[in-house]
Structure 1
């Protein structure tokens, strides 16, 4: 996995049952998946601006360490 600098984005979708969702960012062509373990505290609301580490994996980009 290769780590990049902090990226800005906006929460696009949240599934409260599974505690995951997607973030829209200009760094990728499509929304990026985030999982519950990528954030401390409460999951941000849809539309909320966030900063995060964008990590490239063999399955595509993923979010790590979300900061509200």
Structure 2
């Protein structure tokens, strides 16, 4: 794979651009995570992933149609 990259003539711009895009995205996500409010993280952490069985039965009962 390294031989294929070194054989590229004039295409170094694509390699450098892709590296910069990755770095900008990674650093942006890291900054966003560090600036996120702790209350929001706690709220999202405490949300249920699935409904309870009783809620499923109440929401999908034939009488509710």
Give the TM-score, by structure 2 length. 0.16
Q: Which has the higher helix share?
A: 2
Give the TM-score, by structure 1 length. 0.16
Relative contact order, higher structure (CA 8 A, sep 6+): 1
Larger Rg: 2
